[in-house]
A and B are shown apart, each in its own frame.
Chain A
C-alpha cells in the first residue's frame, strides 16, 4: 500500500522533443491517496495509457518524478514497485490451465503452494472461474480470457496499486456491469488503491470515488463525480462528462457579470478580467437550464427547435441568440413551444477563459 505522487511529469515518445506538441504527457502533478478508487478518464490518445505505464514502470518518463510513499521510484522495475496491471486485451498463457494462469504471479514470487491454492480459489470464486479452473486457458472465450487477466491482477495480496487499462473493452455489456460491481465490491473489501483507465464516463463515474480527467496530455480536472458534474474546471470536462454535455457559448464581460450578444447573464462571483485576447466562454449544463415566465428575473428569450424524449427526461433544443442551448426537462413537466424564456441557474453557470474556468 502506498501513496503515489506524480511530480512535474512530462513524457515524449520522441528522442528530442522541442515544444508541447511533441509531448504525449504535457505536465502532470497528481496525488493518488492510499486506498482510493480512481478512474482515469479521457478520449483515445489523451495520454491515459502513457500515464498508466509510467506509474507501473513499463515506461520511464522523460521528465519529472514518481514517488511511492515519498520515495522516488523512477528507476525501479514494475516488480520492485509491487504493482499489478490488467491490460485492454486479454493476456493468457495459452499452454497453462486457468488455475496455473492465476497461480503464475504467485509462483514467480515463491509463495508456498498451500497459500497459492487458497488465494487462487478465492479469486476464481470472485471472477466466476471456479468451474473452469482445470481447463486449458486457450479454449476460453474472449471474456473468459479477460476474466483470467483480471484474476491475475487481483491474485497478489502485497501490491501497492492495481491498475486497469480499459479492462472491459472485450466483455459483453451485461457482464461488464457485473464485473464492475464486483471490482467495486472488491475494492471496498481489500482497500488497495485501484486506478481504472477508461474512455467511458459511465464506467468511470460508477467505479471511482475520484475521477481524473485527461485531455491532450493534460490533467484537466481531478475530483469526485459530483464536482466534475457541478463545476467542470475545463470546457472539455463540461462536454465530455454528462449526456448531453454542457452548453457553451462565447461571451464577453459586462459590469458584474457577462453578456451573450447583449443579453446580460448573472454569475455568482466577480469575474476578474482575463488577459487580453483570451477567448471567453459561458458554460451551463442542460440540467441547470430552466424554463421560466417571460417576466421572471434574468429570463432569456429562446426559440424551441425540437424535443427528444429519452424516457426519463426530455432534451429540449433551443436557439438562444444564434447559439444552440439544450435544456433537460424532467418527465411530466410540459415543454413550451415556439418563443419561450429560460434562466441559467446562477450558481451553476461558469465562465471559461481559453477553456479554463475563471474562479
Chain B
C-alpha cells in the first residue's frame, strides 16, 4: 500500500480559511439572522420562517422587485443589440481598431461612484451640460423631481457605463470568425443581413450568453450608481432592490427581515441566471 502524505492539506488551508471567512461564514450568518428576531444587547429570538413570509408578502418588496426587473429588462434590451451593432461597425484592423478599443474600454475603467457623480452633475437642470441643454431646448427636464426623467437618466448612465462590455465581448467573438466564412458567403451571394443572421449571430451565441448573464447579474445587483445619482428618488420611484435592502438593513437596522430579503434576492438571481443559461444553450451538443 502507498503511504499517504497528509501534508497536502496544509497547502489548501489558506484558501479554505479565506473562503470560510469571506464567503461561508458571512453567508451562514445571514442565514442565521434570517430566522431570528434581533434586539439590542445581542438578544436573539428564533422566529422560523416569519421574515421570509413577511418579505414575500410585502408590498414594498414587490414594488422594488418589479422596478428591478423593469430596469434590468430595459438595460438588456438596449445594451445587447446596441453592443452588437457597435461591435459590427468597428474596424477589424489597423490604427482605428486600437483607438476604438481603447475608447470602448474607458467607461469600464471609471470607478462606479465616479460614474454616478459624473452623471449627477452632467444632468443637473441648472448647471449640468445635459440638464441645461435639454431645458434650453424647451424640454422640461429635472431628474430630481420627475420619475420619468430619473429613470431615463439612470438608464442612459448604465448604457453609457456598460454597453462597452457587450461591445468588447462581441468584438472578440466576431474577430474569431475565420475569413473563409465571409468568402463562402460572398460566393453564395448572401446579403449583409444573411451574413449577420446565419454566420455572425450563430458564432456570437457563446459570447452573447456570457454577456447577457454578466449584464443580468450586474444590473440586478446595481447599487452604487443609482445611489449616487438619484438615491432612489424622487420618492421611491428609482429604489431598486439593493437600494431597498440597504435601507432596511442599515437605515432601520432590521437584521432579520434584511437577511431574509437578501437570501430571497440571491435565490432570484440564481433562478434567473439558471433560466437564461438553460434557454440560451438549449438544443446544443455537448
Contact = CB atoms under 8 A, between A and B. Distances in A.
Contacts of B203: 94
A191 B178 CA distance: 32
Interface stretch (B157-165, B191-199, B225-233): B191-199
Given A89-B178, A94-B202, A104 B188 contact: yes
Nearest to A108: B189
A94 B185 CA distance: 13
Contact of B186 (A78, A96, A149, A152): A78
Contacts of B189: 79, 105, 108-109
A56 interface: yes
B199 A56 contact: no
B184 A91 contact: yes
B202 A95 contact: yes
Contact of A105 (B188, B191, B199): B188
A94 B202 CA distance: 7
A85 B184 contact: yes
B187 interface: yes
Given A108-B190, A138-B285, A85 B183 contact: yes
Interface string A68-112: 000000000111000111011101011110000000110011000
Contacts of A77: 186
A149 B184 contact: yes
Nearest to A77: B186
A149 to B, nearest CB: 7
A58 interface: yes
Interface in B147-181: 178, 180-181
A91 B180 contact: yes
Contacts, number: 50
B203 to A, nearest CB: 8
Contacts of B194: 108
B92 to A, nearest CB: 16
Interface in A104-130: 104-105, 108-109
Given A87-B180, A108-B191, A95 B198 contact: yes
A17 interface: no
A96 B185 CA distance: 14
B186 A79 contact: yes
Given A79-B189, A108-B190, A91 B181 contact: yes
A154 B259 CA distance: 66
- From B178, B183, B189, residue with most partner A Cβ within 10 Å: B189
Interface of A is mostly: mixed
Contacts of B285: 138-139
A85 B198 CA distance: 19
A77 B189 CA distance: 10
Interface residues of A, number: 25
A53 B191 CA distance: 20
Nearest to B197: A95
B183 to A, nearest CB: 5
Interface in A152-206: 152
A124 B88 CA distance: 35
A93 B178 contact: no
Nearest to B285: A139
Interface string B105-143: 000000000000000000000000000000000000000
A307 B240 CA distance: 86
A145 to B, nearest CB: 12
A108 B188 contact: yes
A56 to B, nearest CB: 7
A79 B199 CA distance: 18
Interface in B230-286: 285
A91 B180 CA distance: 7
A165 to B, nearest CB: 9
Contacts of A138: 285
Contacts of B191: 108
B185 to A, nearest CB: 8
A135 to B, nearest CB: 12
A85 B190 contact: no
- From A56, A77, A105, residue with most partner B Cβ within 10 Å: A105
A58 B185 CA distance: 11
A350 B162 CA distance: 72
Contacts of A89: 178, 180
B105 to A, nearest CB: 30
Contacts of B183: 53, 58, 85, 87
Interface of A: 53, 56, 58, 77-79, 83-85, 87-89, 91, 93-96, 104-105, 108-109, 138-139, 149, 152
Given A77-B186, A104-B190, 4 more contacts: A58-B187, A79-B187, A87-B184, A89-B180
Interface of B: 178, 180-181, 183-184, 186-191, 194, 198-199, 202-203, 285
27 contacts: A58-B183, A77-B186, A78-B186, A78-B187, A79-B189, A84-B187, A85-B187, A87-B180, A88-B180, A91-B180, A91-B181, A91-B184, A93-B199, A93-B202, A94-B202, A94-B203, A95-B198, A96-B198, A104-B190, A104-B198, A105-B188, A108-B189, A108-B190, A108-B191, A139-B285, A149-B184, A152-B188
